Amino acid sequence: MLDMIRQRFALSVKGAKDFCKGVFFTTLLDIALMLPAVFTFVFLEDYLRPILNPSGSVIHGIAYYIVLALIFMLVMYVIALWQYQSTFTSVYEESANRRISLAEKLRKLPLAFFGEKNLSDLTSTIMDDCTDLEHTFSHAVPQLFASIISIILIAIGMFFYNWQLSLALFWVVPLAFAILLIAKKKIRKDFGDNYLDKRNVSEHIQEGLEAVQEIKSYNQEADYLGKLDEKIKKYEKSQTTGELMTGVLVNGAQSLLKLGLASVIIVGAKLLATGDVDLFTYLIFMVIGSRIYAPVSEVFNNLAALFYLDIRINRMNEMEALPIQQGNTDFNPSDYNIEFNDVTFSYESGKQILKDISFTARQGEITALVGPSGSGKSTAAKLAARFWDIQSGKILLGKQDISLVEPETLLKNYSVVFQDVVLFNASVMDNIRIGRRDASDEEVMCAAQLAQCDEFVRKMPQGYQTVIGENGETLSGGERQRVSIARALLKDAPIVLLDEATASLDVENETKIQTAISELVRNKTVLIIAHRMRTIANADKIIVLDNGSIAEMGTPDDLKNKNGIFSQMVEKQMAT
C-alpha cells in the first residue's frame, strides 16, 4: 500500500506514511465538522419532541447543551490541530526533502543529461514543480481522500437511518462524479498543453538573458520580443482555456448537487404525507442536506487539482527513474596511467563521436589531443574522467575500469580546466580555494602566482578579497582563465586535464602558464587539448584525432616529419 502511494504521488517512504496520517486526521476533521449538525440533531430531538408529542418532555437543560457545545468545540480544535501537523507541517518537510533529493539526483547524473536539458527546464522542475506539489499536497490531496472517506461513512450511517431520504440526498453525487471523470482526459490534456506553453516561455526568456549581447549586436530585439509575445499569448490562451474548461465542469457538477436537496424536499414531503417518516426526521435530513454537499464540492475542487498535479508527479517520477552513475568508493590505483582500449562513444544513437579509440596517457608525461573541430578531442578528455559512460571498450586508470568507480571518488584524482570557465560571485580567494577547501591563504596565493594571477589581483581594490561578480564579470577573459587554472593547480591532483586552457591568453601569458604547468607535471598524468601548436610543443606524445578515429600518434618531431595531418596543421598555423 505504501509503495503504491509512494509511486503514485512521487513521495519518499516517510512522505507516504505522513500522507496516510494526513488522510486519517483530515477524515477525522471532516467527521468532526459534522458535530454542529449532530448537536442540532440532539437539541432538536430534545426540544421538538415535546412540541410534536405532548406526552413527552425536555430531558436536558440549557447548561447540558452549553457543556456539550464546549466539548464539541474542544474536540474539533484538537483534531484540527492534529490535522494541521499531519498535513501542512509534514508536507513542508517532505517538500524540503524532495528538493534535497532532486539535488542529490542531479549530482549523480551523468553530464549527458545536462547536455540534453537547458537551465530553465531544470530550474522549473526544482522550484515551480516542487512548489506546486507542496501547495497541492498541503491543501488538496489529503482533503480529497478524506472527503471521499468521510462522505462514504456518513452516507452509510444515513442509509441505515432512512434509506429513502438518503437515496434522494445522494443520487446526484455519482452523477456529478461521472461528469468530471468523463472529462478527465480533456482536462489533463489542457493542463499538459498549458504546462508545456509555460515552460516554452521560461526557456525563451532564459535564452534571451544568455544571448542578450548577440541579440543587441545583430539588432534582433524586435524579432526576439515578437516571438516572446507569441509564446506568452499562447500560454495565456491555454491557461484561459484550461481554467475555463475546468471551471465549467466543476461548477456544473457542483450545481447538479443542488438537485439533491430538492429531491429531499419532494421525497420527504411525500413520505411525510404517507406517514412513512415523521416531521422530526424530515427536518433533520433538511438540515444535514444543507451541510453534506460542502465536502462533496471540496472533492470536486481537489479532484481537478489532482488532474493538474499529475503532470508534476509524472515529471518527478521521470527524474527519479533516470539512471545514475554509481561505483566503488574504495579506489586505490597502482599508478595514474590512463588507458583507452577500443573505446566507442556517441551522445545519441546514429551520431558516433569516437570509434575504437586506443591509446595510453602515461604518468609523468604530457599527452596532447589535437585535430580539427568536431574530431572528438574534448569528448575523449571528458570520458577519461567519466563525465559520460562509454558504449563499448574500456577506460582504465591504474589498471582499474573507471566505469566501476563512483564518479566523485574518481574525480578526486583529477584537476580540470575547461575552455568555458565558470566562476562564482565571490572573492578571488574563494574562487581559487574551490580547488581545495582546506587550503591556507598562503597556498591559494602561491597557486595564483604560478597561474600568473597575482599581478592583476594585487591591483584590485580589496586584492584577493575582491568580489568578482557573477561568473567573474569584472574580469577579462584571460584573467578568468588564469583564476580557473590557479584553482586546478591548487588542487594538485595526480591527473591534469586541460581543455583549451590557454585559449584566452596572449602569447606572453601563455608562455608563463606553460612554464608553471611544466613545473607541476612531474610524476603526473597530463592530458591537453589544444589548437595552438606552440601550446603542445613540449608534449611527450601527440594523438591526432580525425572524424572520431586516431589518424596519427607519436612525438611532435616524428609527426612533423610524416607530412600528415599534424604537419599540415603546423604549416597552416605558421603561415597564419
* Co-location of 286 and 357 in the same domain: no
Higher pLDDT: 44 or 447? It is: 447
Whole-number percent of the chain with pLDDT over 70 = 90
Q: Quote the CA–CA distance of 518 and 496 in Å, as a whole number.
A: 11
* Inside any domain, residue 326: no
Q: Quote the CA–CA distance of 546 and 574 in Å, as a whole number.
A: 21
| pLDDT number for residue 394 | 93
Helix residue ranges, H only, 492-534: 507-520
Q: Quote the CA–CA distance of 20 and 15 in Å, as a whole number.
A: 9
Q: Do strands 351-361 and 495-499 pair parallel, antiparallel, or not at all (unpaired)?
A: unpaired
Has residue 338 got a pLDDT over 90? yes
* Co-location of 151 and 125 in the same domain: yes
Mean pLDDT calculated for residue range 435-461? 89
CATH label of the domain that carries residue 260:
1.20.1560.10
* Co-location of 86 and 196 in the same domain: yes
* Co-location of 291 and 415 in the same domain: no
Whole-number percent of the chain with pLDDT over 90 = 11
* Co-location of 317 and 364 in the same domain: no
Q: Which helix (H) or strand (E) segment is 277 a member of?
A: none
* Inside any domain, residue 205: yes
Residue that the C-alpha cell 598524468 belongs to: 525
Q: Quote the CA–CA distance of 187 and 183 in Å, as a whole number.
A: 6
| pLDDT number for residue 117 | 62
* Co-location of 58 and 111 in the same domain: yes
Has residue 107 got a pLDDT over 90? no
Q: Quote the CA–CA distance of 44 and 57 in Å, as a whole number.
A: 12
* Co-location of 266 and 222 in the same domain: yes
Positive or negative: CA dihedral 215, 218, 221, 223:
negative
* Inside any domain, residue 564: yes
* Co-location of 425 and 538 in the same domain: yes
> Which of 269, 347, 293, 275 minimizes the C-alpha distance to 151?
293
Helix residue ranges, H only, 140-220: 141-161, 163-170, 172-182, 184-210, 212-217
User: In a 3-state reduction of DSSP, which class is residue 437?
Assistant: coil
Mean pLDDT calculated for residue range 439-452? 89
Has residue 339 got a pLDDT over 90? yes
In total, how many domains does the chain have? 2
Could you tell me the three cell numbers for 492? 594538485
Q: What is the dihedral of CA 417, 422, 425, 426, to 10 degrees?
A: -10
Could you tell me the three cell numbers for 291? 451541510
Could you tell me the three cell numbers for 281? 426526521
Q: Contact, 8 vs 23, CB < 8 A?
A: no
* Co-location of 284 and 161 in the same domain: yes
The residue out of 275, 294, 321 marking a domain boundary is 321
* Co-location of 234 and 363 in the same domain: no
Q: Quote the CA–CA distance of 232 and 399 in Å, as a whole number.
A: 55
Most confident of the following: 312-326, 394-408, 532-546: 394-408
Tens of pLDDT, residue by residue over 33-91, are 778 877 777 777 766 666 555 555 556 778 888 888 899 899 889 988 888 888 888 88
Could you tell me the three cell numbers for 323? 539512471
Please indicate, yes or no, whether the overall pTM of this predicted structure exceeds 0.75. Answer: no
Q: Which helix (H) or strand (E) segment is 16 a member of?
A: helix 13-32
For residue 248, how far is the Cα from the chain centroid?
Answer: 32
* Co-location of 314 and 398 in the same domain: no
User: In a 3-state reduction of DSSP, which class is residue 475?
Assistant: coil
Mean pLDDT calculated for residue range 187-206? 82
Tens of pLDDT, residue by residue over 554-570, are 888 888 888 888 888 87
* Inside any domain, residue 329: no
Helix, strand, coil percentages, rounded to 5, for the chain:
65, 10, 20
Structural domain for 359, as ranges: 338-575
Has residue 506 got a pLDDT over 70? no
* Residues contacting residue 87 through CB under 8 Å, at least 6 positions apart: 22, 25, 26, 137, 138, 142, 143
Q: In whole angstroms, how far apart are CA 115 and each of 119, 228, 316, 553?
A: 10, 24, 19, 30
Computed over every residue of the chain, the mean pLDDT equals 82
Q: Quote the CA–CA distance of 8 and 2 in Å, as a whole number.
A: 10
* Co-location of 484 and 524 in the same domain: yes
Name all contacts of 254-258 with Cβ < 8 Å and 24+ positions apart: 254/176, 254/293, 254/297, 254/300, 256/172, 256/175, 256/176, 256/179, 257/172, 257/173, 257/176, 257/293, 257/296, 257/297, 258/293
Q: Quote the CA–CA distance of 275 and 441 in Å, as a whole number.
A: 95
Q: Quote the CA–CA distance of 445 and 32 in Å, as a whole number.
A: 68
